[in-house]
Chain A
Amino acid sequence: MSNAKAQKSVLWDWLTTVDHKKIGILYLVSGGFFFALGGLEAILMRIQLMFPNLGFVSAQTFNELLTMHGTTMIFLAAMPLLFGFMNYIVPLQIGARDVAFPFLNSLGFWLFLFGGILINLSWFLGGAPDAGWTAYVPLSSEYSGTGIDYYVLGLQISGLGTLISGINFLVTIINMRAPGMSMMRMPLFTWSSFVASALILFAFPALTVGLLLLMLERLFGATYFAVDFGGNVVIWQHLFWIFGHPEVYILILPAFGIFSEILATFSKKRLFGYSAMVFATLIIGFLGFMVWAHHMFTVGIGPVANAIFAVATMAIAVPTGIKIFNWLFTLWGGRIQFTTANLFAIGFIPSFVMGGVTGVMLATSAANYQFHDTYFVVAHFHYVIIGGVVLGLFAGAFYWWPRMFGYKLNETLGKWFFWLFLFGFHLTFFVQHFVGLMGMPRRVASYLPGQGLDSLNFVSSVGAILMSVAFILFLVNVVVSVKNKSEADPWDGRTLEWGIPTPTPEYNFAQTPLVRELDALWYEKMHGNGKLKAAEPLDDIHMPNGSILPIFMSLGLFIAAFGLIYHVIPVTVIGLGITLGAMFIRSIKEDHGYHIHKEDIKKEEGVG
C-alpha cells in the first residue's frame, strides 16, 4: 500500500515538475515517441513504394502518411528532442541553478505535448491531414477534410509552447550566466541554442498568423485565399516559408552545437576557430530569414526576385563552409577517440556536406525548374535533416546520456547502431537523387513499372528498413545498458556540465562556479585542482515550487480546439475558460518557492 502511494507521488512529481532537468527528460521521452511514430509512417510509405503499382495503402492513406510524417518529424520529434537537450544541458553549461522562467518552461512542454496529441488524434477521428506538411492553399482550404483542422489547431497550440520556450532560453542565457561566463566564453551548444531561440522568436509568429488565417478561412468562412473574393493563394506560401525556412536553422544550429562540443571533447583539443564558429552561427541565423522565397522559385514571383533569393541562399554556404573546416581542423592533430558519440559527429561531416552541395544546386533558380517537386528535393532535405539533425541527436544522446540518466550506453551496440544507421541512411536517400533526376515526382502514392524506377525504389526501401532496425538496436541499448553505471565525468569533459556530481542534484551547482576561461572545466583541470572554483559561499538555495496549472492551461486549449473543429461553441468557451481560469489562479496566488538548507546540501555533496 505504501508502495502504491509512493508511485502516485512520483507520477504527481513528474506532472507538476518545473525542474529544467526533468522537463528536458519529458521532452526526450515524448519526442522519442513521436520520432518512432514518424519513422513508422515513413516505413509504411517506403513499403508502398517498394514495388510499382503496389496496393499496400490507398492513395488517400498515402497522402495522410506523407503529411503526418513531415509534420511529426519536424514539429513533434526533431524540435522537442533538441529542446530536451537544450533544457537539460544549457543551464548546466552556463552555471545556472535553473532557467529564467521555470513555470513557463513546464507550460511550454505541456502545450507541445497536447498539441502533438491533438494532431495525432486525427488518425482516429475522421482522417489525418492530407495536404502535405506545408498545407498549401487552396488544397488545404477548400479540398481537404477535418484532418487539416487538427493540423491547424494542434500546430497552433504546440507552436505557442515552442515560442514560450524560445523566449525562456534567450532570457536564461543573457541573464543567468555564472560570474566570468562572458558571451565569448559560452560553449558552442549554448551559443547555437541561443541563436536558434532567437530564430524561434522571430519565425514562429509568422506561422501563428498563417495558421490563424487558415483556421478562420476553414472554420469561419474568411476569404484571404479565395480568388473569387479577391484573395491570393501565394500569401499562405509567404507566411509559411517566412516561418519554414528559419525553422530548418532552428533544427540544424543546435545540432551544429552538439557536434562542436563532441569533436572538441574527443579530439582533446580546444574547438578550432571558436570566435569564427560563433560568428558563423550568427550569420547563418541572420541569412536564414533572408531566403524563404527560394521555396517559391516556380510560383511565378519573377526573375528578379528569383535571382535575389538564389544569391542570398548560396551565400549561406560560406558560413557553413567555415564551420565544416573548423570541425576538420579541430580533428586535425587531435588525439581522436572513436566513441560512438564521436563516430556520429565524424559521420555527420561528409553526410551533411553532400546535403549542402545539393542545396546549392537547388538554389540555382533556373535549374530549380527541373528539380522542382521531384525526389531530388526529397533526397536533398533528408540529407540535411538526417545527416545533420538526426545524427546530431544521436551523437548528443550518446554523449550526454551519462549526465542525464547516470549510466553509459553500451559502446559495442552503439557502434553497430551507428554503422547500420549510417549505411541505411545513405542507401535510402542517395539513390533518390537519381530517381528524382529521372523524373519521379515527390508525394505520389505509386509509379508504373518499366520506367526505370523499380530497382532504385526497391534499394531505397531496403535502406529505410535498415534504418529502422538500427533504431530498434538503439532502444535495446537504452534498456540493456541500465546497469552500466557511469562516473560524473566519463568523457574527461571540458565544459561546466561535467563538473557536478552524478546524478545531477536538483539545484545543479551547490555553489555557483567561477568561470576563468573558455572550456571552464578543462581550464581547471590544466591550471587548478580539477575542481570548479566557487563564486559564492555555500548557502541555502531558493527553489521554485512545482505546479499542476501548466497541464490545465494546455488541457483547456486542447478542449477549446475540439469545440472549434466540431463547431460546438460552448465546448470552446469551456476550454478557454479553463485556460483563462488557470492563468487567473496563477496571477492571483503568490508562490514564493522554498529553500534547500545548506546542511542538506553539504550532506548530498559529501562535504563537512
Chain B
Amino acid sequence: MAETVKHEQTLPSHPEKATLEGKNKFLGFWFFLGGETVLFASLFGTYLGLRNGVADGPTSADLFHLDLVFIMTMLLLTSSLTSVFAMINMKKGNFKGLIIWMWATVFLGVCFLGFEIYEFVVYVNYGLGFTTSAFASSFYTLVGTHGGHVLFGILWISTLLIRYRKAGVTLTNAPKFYVASLYWHFIDVVWVFIFTVVYLMGV
C-alpha cells in the first residue's frame, strides 16, 4: 500500500505541507481554528456577562481553589510540550519518537480531563448545579465546551496513533499528525484564557 512506503531517506524537511493536499489541510485547519476562536470568544463574552448573576447559588469565590487549577494547568501545558517533541521527531523522520511523545500527550490529556470531572463533581456536591444560576450555566458551558474539545482531541489523536501505528512518517500522515498537534496547542491556549478569566478573576 502506498502509505506504508517509508520515506525516511527522502522525506522533505516539512513533510506536513509538502503536497497540495497537505497544504490545503494545513491552511484549512488554521481557518478552522479562526472560527473556533470566535466560538470561544462568544462563550467567554457570555460568561463575563453572567459571572455575577449567581442568584441564590454559590459564587465563584466560594468554590474555586487555585491549587487544583494549578495542577490542571501544569498537566495541559506539559501536554503541549510533549506534542512539540512529537513534531520535532516527525520532521526528523523519527516515527518511534513521534508515536511515543504523542501517546504521552494523550495520557496527560486524560489526566487533565479526570481532574476536570473531579472538579465538576465537587462543585455539584457543593450546590452549584448546571441550572442553579446564570453564573453556573455559563461556567459549565464555557469550561465544559473546552473539556469536550479535550475529549475530542484525545479520541482524534488516539485514532491516528492506532491507525498509523506501523506506517512510518509519510506524506499522507504527516499533515494529519501536524494538524492534530495544532489543535492540541489551540486547546491549551484556550485553557490559558480560562485560567485567567474564569479562575484568577474568580477567586
Contacts and interface: CB of A to CB of B under 8 A. Distances in A.
A and B bind:
yes
B102 to A, nearest CB: 16
B35 interface: yes
B163 A230 contact: no
A534 B31 CA distance: 31
Nearest to A99: B24
A226 interface: yes
A444 B159 CA distance: 54
B20 interface: yes
Nearest to A239: B42
Interface in A144-175: 163, 167-168, 170-171, 174-175
Interface in B121-179: 130-138, 141, 159-160, 163, 172
Interface in A259-297: none
Given A216-B141, A222-B130, A235-B49, A210 B35 contact: no
A354 interface: no
Nearest to B36: A205
A167 B30 CA distance: 10
Interface stretch (B52-60, B86-94, B185-193, B194-202): B52-60
Contacts of B68: none
B42 A171 contact: no
Contact of A175 (B27, B34, B49, B133): B27
Contacts of B141: 212-213, 216, 222, 224
Could you say which of B1, B35, B49, B52 has the most chain A C-beta atoms within 10 Å of its C-beta?
B35
Nearest to B20: A175
Contacts of A167: 28, 31-32, 35
A409 B129 CA distance: 62
Contacts of B45: 235, 238-239
Nearest to A222: B137
B73 interface: no
A101 B159 CA distance: 21
A223 B3 contact: no
A475 interface: no
Contact of B137 (A174, A201, A206, A216): A216
Contacts of B49: 232, 235
B66 interface: no
A220 interface: yes
Interface stretch (A133-141, A178-186, A385-393, A584-592): A584-592
Contacts of B27: 170-171, 174-175
A212 B138 CA distance: 11
B3 A210 contact: no
A290 to B, nearest CB: 15
A289 B135 CA distance: 27
A588 B163 contact: yes
A206 B134 contact: no
A210 B130 CA distance: 17
A399 interface: no
Contacts of A230: 50, 52-55, 133-135
B23 interface: yes
A523 interface: no
Given A213-B141, A222-B130, A222-B131, A206 B53 contact: no
A213 B45 CA distance: 13
Contacts of A321: none
Interface in A171-215: 171, 174-176, 201-206, 208-210, 212-213
Given A100-B28, A167-B31, A201-B35, A206 B50 contact: no
Q: Tell me if A's interface is mostly helix, strand, loop or mixed.
A: helix
A600 interface: no
Contacts of B172: 590
A143 interface: no
Interface string A219-244: 01111101011111001001100100
B39 interface: yes
Q: Which range holds the interface residue count of chain A?
A: 35 or more
A232 B50 contact: yes
B131 A221 contact: yes
B61 interface: no
Contacts of A175: 20, 23-24, 27
Contacts of A588: 159, 163
Contact of A209 (B1, B31, B46, B134): B46
B55 A171 contact: no
B43 to A, nearest CB: 6
Contacts of A217: 137
Nearest to B2: A592
A171 B31 contact: yes
Contact of B42 (A201, A205, A221, A223): A205
B35 A205 contact: yes
A223 B28 contact: no
Nearest to B53: A230
B54 to A, nearest CB: 6
B6 to A, nearest CB: 16
Nearest to B160: A587
Nearest to B172: A590
Contact of B38 (A205, A223, A226): A205
Contacts of B50: 224, 230-232, 235
Interface string B15-31: 00000100110011001
Given A230-B50, A231-B53, A100 B35 contact: no
Nearest to B155: A580
A224 B134 contact: yes
Contacts of A223: 55, 131-134, 136-137
A337 to B, nearest CB: 39
A230 B60 CA distance: 14
B130 A101 contact: no
Contacts of A238: 45
Contacts of A201: 31, 34-35, 38
A228 B55 contact: yes
B43 A220 contact: no
Nearest to B131: A221
A488 to B, nearest CB: 28
Contact of A210 (B42, B137, B160): B42
B60 to A, nearest CB: 12
A226 B28 contact: no
Given A167-B35, A229-B55, A206 B42 contact: yes
21 contacts: A167-B31, A171-B28, A175-B23, A175-B24, A202-B38, A203-B38, A204-B35, A205-B39, A209-B39, A209-B42, A217-B137, A220-B130, A221-B131, A222-B131, A223-B133, A223-B134, A224-B134, A224-B138, A229-B133, A239-B45, A590-B1
Given A170-B31, A220-B130, A223-B131, 15 more contacts: A201-B35, A205-B39, A213-B46, A223-B133, A224-B46, A224-B50, A224-B137, A224-B138, A230-B50, A230-B52, A230-B54, A230-B133, A230-B135, A239-B42, A239-B45
Interface of A: 100-101, 163, 167-168, 170-171, 174-176, 201-206, 208-210, 212-213, 216-217, 220-224, 226, 228-232, 235, 238-239, 242, 584, 587-588, 590, 592
